[in-house]
Amino acid sequence: MVAYRPLLRDREFGGAVRRAVVFGHPTLSREVPALLTRDDVEVIVVAPVGEEVYDPSRSARVVASIDGVDADPRERDARAWVGRWVSASRALLAEAERSADHVAPDVEAGRSHSPEQRLAFARAELAAVRAPVTRRMLVEALWRFTWPHDRLVLGASRLIRELDAVAPGKNIRVHANRGLAGIDGTIGTAIGIALAARRAEQGAVGTTRVLLGDLAMLHDVGSLLFGEGERRPAVQVVVGNDGGGTIFDALEVAGTAPPEAMRRVLTTPQHVDLPALAEAYGWDYRRALTRGELDQALSAPPRGPSILEVPLPR
């Protein structure tokens, strides 16, 4: 397991020449290999572990340590370098705001003297609160409600891709299991992180949340069992439940395989009763069907182990 951080430094924003300096092995993110295989990106891999060099472009320069990376003269001006990061980050935030799955409320209309305008405002607000949760809405809400003292664990389900595509920079700690992006052990990982954080900070500071799909959750159902006398940390398991493995819908095979074979072999639909499962293992359970319910469930962090089920459309 590694802390998931941005692994790349981009030498020049907006210019033609770009350089990516790679540490470690980024597995789950599609954006990283996509960037590294671009023709206009020079890739430098620093201190690969063992035989493995993460080099999807098959053209990387490998150096033993960061000292081996020759600095661009322009980077020596630290303020200018940081300035480029800040403006790139602002541009991303503005873009995220534009593409967000919500529009800012028309506050002026709510204060209007016109009853029609106030009514329209109230209707729009009610519609926003009652809107069914989408994947985009779920990951945006989770990002918004996670603070620097919290921890976020991401499972290898479809939702990590959704978050990866829209999350702007934020000072929060995000974890994901390494290896071959397995869907196994995600809840156990989150419980371990929650317990370790408690010990490190000498008290229950913040919340540990894990975001995963229904199959990833069911794969690690045994981790819901706390041994006798074991501590039960504040951990919120957020399950985007679309009734099977829909990450495979985006695979090429989905376009050619007979639907029934696809369903049986890849989607593997499930209909497990999650409230009953939570009760059986002594976990709190909540379900969020709408934006309002989701915001409520995420803004009132649990004191112990709890499952938040978010039904999602296929």
Ligand X SMILES: Cc1ncc(C[n+]2csc(CCOP(=O)(O)OP(=O)(O)O)c2C)c(N)n1
Does residue 176 bind ligand X (CB under 6 A)?
A: no
Going by their DSSP bridges, the two strands 41-46 and 18-23 should be labelled as parallel
Residue in the block written with tokens 């609160």: 129
Q: How many residues of this chain interact with ligand X, rule: CB under 6 A?
A: 18
Minimum gap (Å) between residue 141 Cβ and ligand X: 16
Interacting residue with ligand X among 22, 36, 141, 156 (CB under 6 A): 156
Q: Which is nearer to ligand X, 76 or 314 (CB)?
A: 314
Residue 157 C-beta: closest distance to ligand X, Å:
3
Q: Which of 140, 150, 220, 242 binds ligand X (CB under 6 A)?
A: 242
Q: Taking contact as CB under 6 A, which single stretch among the options 57-65, 79-87, 182-190, 274-282 is the one that binds ligand X?
A: 182-190
Instruction: Decide: is 216 part of the binding site for ligand X (CB under 6 A).
Output: yes
In the complex with ligand X, the residue whose CB is nearer, 87 or 270, is 270
Return contacts of 94-103, CB within 8 angstroms, 24+ apart: 96/166, 96/167, 96/168, 99/166, 100/136, 100/140, 100/166, 101/134, 101/136, 101/137, 101/140, 102/128, 102/137, 102/140, 102/291
Residues 284-303 binding ligand X (CB under 6 A) are none
Q: Is 245 in the site for ligand X (CB under 6 A)?
A: yes
Minimum separation from the CB atom of position 63 to ligand X (A): 32
Core vs surface per residue 248-270: b (16+ CB within 10 A) or e:
beeeeeeeeeeeeebeeebbeee
Query: At a CB cut-off of 8 Å and minimum separation 6, what does 21 contact?
Result: 8, 9, 44, 46, 66, 69
**Interaction of residue 236 with ligand X, rule CB under 6 A:** no
Residue nearest ligand X, CB atom distance: 213
CA-CA distance, 221 to 239, in Å (whole number)? 12
Binding residues (CB under 6 A) for ligand X: these are 156-159, 181-184, 212-216, 240, 242, 245-247
